[in-house]
A and B are shown apart, each in its own frame.
Chain A
């Protein structure tokens, strides 16, 4: 009797076990990106750019050519790669500290130039790798290692809403914010990621998918509570949806 294979691990990921904490959704987001690359049959034509932070080692997990960038500079590195190899697919995988703080200039200008790259922006409202410090995306009132009394807008300013900001730029072709806190949202997130890579395939310009994500370790919550916190606390501040769709149409 032959058994029918109904599920197997995507060829877009290597066999290396990830170092992510229990309950962190980086693994899910990696898998979605990897599955999309496999399903679109572009894995062999893709160069990924890893960033600095928890996902710094993503180059060991994605099963395609990978280049590791300095903190925040992934969109500039991706620009260099894509300008030389316009027929390849180029994506960056960046957290919120990397993209929205030290690298905000690089992502804005990559979008403004309409660089034909895809940015996967994982937002968990905190610096994970360095031990739970305030990120530009940290919510008002959220306690972190550097906002021990909670983020106070009068002292530390307010969260940066990256999708809303990038969407104002003419070079941005597809911008969507999705979440990873339950299965329906994960399915939606994967569709958005596919749409972003399709946008790149059509040469329409800059595409970015912001994925709301968890950090149980630094939030001080268990994995289940973390998913709830994304839904109840993050989504109201970071509304989900399509912020820019130059091409129009459904995902």
Chain B
């Protein structure tokens, strides 16, 4: 199959279908509504089910129900709607049900606006709902990467029996780029003997629940979840390093901001400033390795975000005091320009060397 020109939100939907997701429960919210509309048209073609729920809360609980039968299932939303899904996401974690949840982030807090933002970073990477947990979060920076990461999200969800969050910003959802859906060489198949599908002939009954009234029982269960999270940390870290080998300064950015930052870096390099980029692709687990490898050589890190500064906390933890960590960000739906970021690099580097 050749390349096709598509919109980001539609790419997420098609990538999900491509990897065997036949069930989608959604609710309209800008700027991700194209995803819902695409699924409504597309899923009947593959014998799947699209259902528009009465609320984000109902949608995530329909996902919970579908996931409990062992099928690949997805829902998507944007920030205010994503907040509403948090209850259900916590239950998915507690009941260990695989599902993919997409958050096309917009400006907040509250109703905020519909412009691109990354200000749900804390919410998606630090648990978000109640209880002791983390969720794998993947943040694509291009439409082709959406294809790869949507597929990876479903595999990770099945492999670890966990919800996985796909996080983009409104820009990524709305932009158009050519993408290719390649045949997967090896489709990962996970046995789901835990699924509740009726007991006929399967030796059940089985129970899907997150309730454990006994404190020591719940603690045991929580430690076993923590072991799973440790395994995910070991196996599912993703990042890209760009021109970091000789860098005096390293920018840190994810998603579309990383692309803008990359352009600023190229310009700075032309002017003799040795600057590179670490682009976290998995926001949780956060990639610590590229920081450990560089933190004793660089003069400073600069976290660039479409927020008032959220990922910078993880950058600081990874740098662990070995180098200064600075910040440049725009919030409220304002997208930082290449020039602004370039200026920041120049300021930090103490001017352009002539």
Contact = CB atoms under 8 A, between A and B. Distances in A.
A65 B205 contact: yes
Interface string B24-61: 01000000000000000000000001010111011101
Contacts of A83: 23, 49, 51, 62, 65-66
B58 A64 contact: no
Given A77-B64, A80-B64, A85-B69, A105 B205 contact: no
Contact of A85 (B73, B88, B197, B207): B197
A60 B207 contact: yes
A68 B95 contact: yes
Contact of B66 (A44, A59, A84): A84
Interface in A70-111: 70, 73, 76-85, 88, 105-106, 108-109
B91 A105 contact: no
Contacts of A235: none
Interface in A26-54: 43-47, 49-50
Interface stretch (B173-181, B208-216, B222-230, B252-260): B208-216
A78 B205 contact: no
Contacts of B126: none
Interface residues of A, number: 36
B198 interface: yes
A50 B196 CA distance: 13
Interface centre among B51, B61, B204, B209 (most CB of A within 10 A): B61
A242 interface: no
A147 interface: no
B209 A67 contact: yes
Contact of B198 (A44, A62, A105): A44
Contact of A56 (B23, B64, B211): B211
A57 B213 CA distance: 10
Given A64-B199, A70-B91, A83-B23, A77 B61 contact: yes
B318 to A, nearest CB: 35
B68 to A, nearest CB: 5
Contacts of A108: 54
Given A80-B25, A81-B66, A68 B211 contact: yes
A73 B198 contact: no
A10 to B, nearest CB: 14
Given A66-B205, A78-B65, A84-B71, A46 B198 contact: yes
B198 A88 contact: yes
Contacts of A77: 61-62, 64-65, 68
Contact of B73 (A78, A80, A105): A80
Contact of B65 (A46, A62, A66, A80): A80
Given A68-B208, A70-B87, A80 B196 contact: no
Interface string B61-96: 111111111010100000000000001100100010
B54 A63 contact: no
Nearest to A78: B65
B3 interface: no
A46 to B, nearest CB: 6
Nearest to A45: B198
Given A81-B66, A83-B23, A68 B207 contact: yes
Contacts of B91: 69-70
A82 to B, nearest CB: 8
Contacts of B192: none
A121 to B, nearest CB: 18
B75 to A, nearest CB: 10
B58 A81 contact: no
B63 A65 contact: no
Contacts of A70: 61, 64, 87-88, 91
Interface of B: 23, 25, 49, 51, 53-55, 57-59, 61-69, 71, 73, 87-88, 91, 95, 196-201, 204-211
Interface of A: 43-47, 49-50, 56-57, 59-60, 62-70, 73, 76-85, 88, 105-106, 108-109
30 contacts: A43-B199, A47-B68, A50-B209, A65-B198, A65-B206, A66-B209, A67-B95, A68-B208, A73-B57, A73-B64, A76-B61, A76-B62, A77-B62, A79-B62, A80-B25, A80-B62, A80-B63, A80-B67, A83-B51, A83-B66, A84-B49, A84-B69, A84-B71, A105-B54, A105-B57, A106-B57, A106-B58, A108-B54, A109-B54, A109-B58
